[in-house]
């Protein structure tokens, strides 16, 4: 379920017409379905069943505080990668004791903030980080709860930019060094071993890489146990793929069953860190056609959204479905849907069959994850507004940026 459907040729998000949202809030506009977000979160929770578990939403996928608030209301934990994200959890009323802190480059300030907040766990990614965390915790007179992010060296078979579990990726502690890392944590008076984690990549559509990674991790868990280093939880990361076009996605129940089969009767609490799969399909970017430029070989639809709003097509060659908000019976033509930014990489979709005219509205689907949160002000374009729809109610959850705000933190030099 995405929360988006067509009724009488018109695109709706839950009970609200996308056209009415565009009229009220302007374009480009991100719209999200609360029901779809809640349903995806609950699917993870249900798949993990009776086993003690915690679903920690990987909030870098979309960190709007209203979205975090909705998930916190379901009892969600959060996977954060910065101090800024920790602040957002706090602002959203999330439970800081359900926060796991990932990331390869945590600063001392961020470590101190997270220790003060009393988070669940630091997922450490290097020997240097272990040393620094031990020092910061000691200086604060507290004991830091630690999990080692193990890089299992498995190929997740996804886009190279979103593959994270290979030896050559910067993420995690190499499998062969992990035992030493645990020894060092166990020997530190200000660190406490509580878990093991991995995250091998994003947009995975196959269970096999998860199984490979988990079996490597479990072998390590067993080895540690034989050395009296006992873990409480196992964090399987995120990465579950969604359907953008025609991908066969993972069946979550089958995925969980496969994980449980590997785990057997070891009784770890299970943590998962899904991001994209919680919000990806639950959002769309509405944009209006500013101009149609017919060409000899192809036509351009120049829209008011651009790569600064949605960088996935330019950055990952990602394909996202583009549909008219109101269907037309005119004949279709082939378009490249492009933005106004001065870059040839500024496209949202290429070679799409569309029946459109100037001023029509388009919806770029599956724009809930890695979309708004990766937006920028390039070309001095204010960031889009965001709306969350809940049944027949639309909530403005982020105002459109003003032009003045673009340079509000800049200053002229004295002349």
Ligand X SMILES: *Cc1c(COP(=O)(O)O)cnc(C)c1O
Q: Which residues bind ligand X (CB under 6 A)?
A: 58, 60-61, 79, 81, 102, 199, 202, 237-240, 273-277
Supply the minimum distance, in Å, between the C-beta of residue 63 and ligand X: 12
**Is the CB of 11 or the CB of 61 nearer to ligand X?**
61
Supply the minimum distance, in Å, between the C-beta of residue 377 and ligand X: 23
CB atoms within 10 A of CB 248: 9
How far is it, in rounded angstroms, from Cα 17 to Cα 226? 60
Supply the minimum distance, in Å, between the C-beta of residue 3 and ligand X: 18
Provide the token pair at 235: 């964090």
Q: Is 198 noted as a catalytic residue in this protein?
A: no
Hey, what's the torsion of the CAs at 350, 309, 11, 275, to 10 degrees? 100
The answer to whether 250 touches 274, Cβ cutoff 8 Å, is: no
**Is the CB of 22 or the CB of 121 nearer to ligand X?**
121
**Is the CB of 199 or the CB of 383 nearer to ligand X?**
199
Cross-strand bridge partners of residue 286: 29, 363
Measured CA distances, 94 to 75, 85, 188, 255, 370 (Å)? 8, 11, 30, 27, 21
Supply the minimum distance, in Å, between the C-beta of residue 212 and ligand X: 17
Q: Which of 18, 121, 198, 342 is catalytic?
A: 342
**Is the CB of 99 or the CB of 301 nearer to ligand X?**
99
The answer to whether 12 touches 4, Cβ cutoff 8 Å, is: yes
Residues with Cβ within 8 Å of residue 279, at least 6 apart in sequence: 32, 37, 40, 61, 62, 67, 368, 369
Measured CA distances, 209 to 202, 262, 271, 272 (Å)? 11, 13, 18, 15
**Is the CB of 27 or the CB of 63 nearer to ligand X?**
63
Supply the minimum distance, in Å, between the C-beta of residue 176 and ligand X: 21
Q: Is 285 helix (H, G, I), strand (E, B) or coil?
A: strand
User: Which residues are the active-site residues?
Assistant: 342
């Amino acid at each position: 379920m995405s929360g988006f459907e067509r009724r009488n040729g018109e695109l709706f998000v839950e009970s609200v017409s996308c056209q009415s949202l565009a009229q009220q809030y302007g374009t480009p506009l991100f719209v999200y379905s609360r029901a779809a977000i809640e349903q995806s979160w609950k699917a993870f929770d249900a798949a993990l069943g009776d086993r003690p578990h915690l679903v920690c939403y990987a909030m870098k996928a979309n960190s709007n505080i209203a979205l975090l608030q909705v998930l916190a209301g379901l009892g969600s934990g959060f996977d954060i990668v910065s101090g800024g994200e920790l602040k957002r959890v706090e602002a959203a009323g999330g439970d800081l004791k359900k926060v796991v802190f990932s990331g390869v480059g945590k600063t001392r300030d961020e470590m101190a903030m997270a220790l003060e907040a009393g988070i669940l766990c630091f997922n450490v990614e290097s020997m240097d980080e272990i040393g620094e965390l031990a020092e910061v915790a000691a200086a604060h007179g507290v004991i830091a709860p630690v999990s080692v992010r193990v890089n299992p060296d498995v190929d997740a078979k996804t886009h190279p930019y979103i593959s994270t579990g290979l030896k050559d990726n910067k993420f995690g502690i190499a499998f062969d060094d992990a035992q030493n890392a645990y020894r060092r944590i166990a020997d530190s008076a200000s660190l406490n071993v509580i878990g093991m984690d991995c995250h091998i990549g994003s947009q995975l559509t196959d269970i096999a890489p998860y199984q490979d990674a988990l079996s490597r991790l479990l072998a390590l868990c067993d080895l540690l146990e034989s050395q009296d280093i006992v873990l409480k939880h196992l964090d399987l990361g995120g990465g579950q793929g969604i359907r953008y076009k025609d991908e066969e996605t993972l069946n979550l129940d089958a995925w969980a069953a496969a994980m449980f089969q590997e785990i057997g009767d070891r009784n770890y609490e299970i943590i998962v860190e899904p991001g994209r799969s919680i919000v990806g399909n639950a959002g769309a970017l509405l944009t209006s056609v500013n101009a149609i430029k017919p060409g000899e070989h192809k036509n351009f639809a120049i829209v008011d959204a651009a790569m600064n709003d949605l960088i996935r097509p330019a950055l990952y060659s990602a394909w996202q479905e583009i549909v008219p908000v109101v269907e037309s019976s005119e004949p279709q033509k082939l378009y490249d849907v492009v933005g106004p930014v001065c870059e040839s990489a500024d496209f949202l979709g290429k070679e799409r069959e569309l029946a459109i005219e100037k001023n029509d509205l388009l919806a770029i689907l599956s724009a809930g994850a890695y979309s708004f949160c990766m937006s920028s002000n390039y070309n001095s374009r204010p960031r889009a507004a965001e709306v969350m729809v809940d049944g027949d109610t639309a909530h403005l959850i982020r105002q459109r940026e003003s032009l003045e705000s673009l340079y509000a933190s800049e200053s002229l030099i004295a002349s």
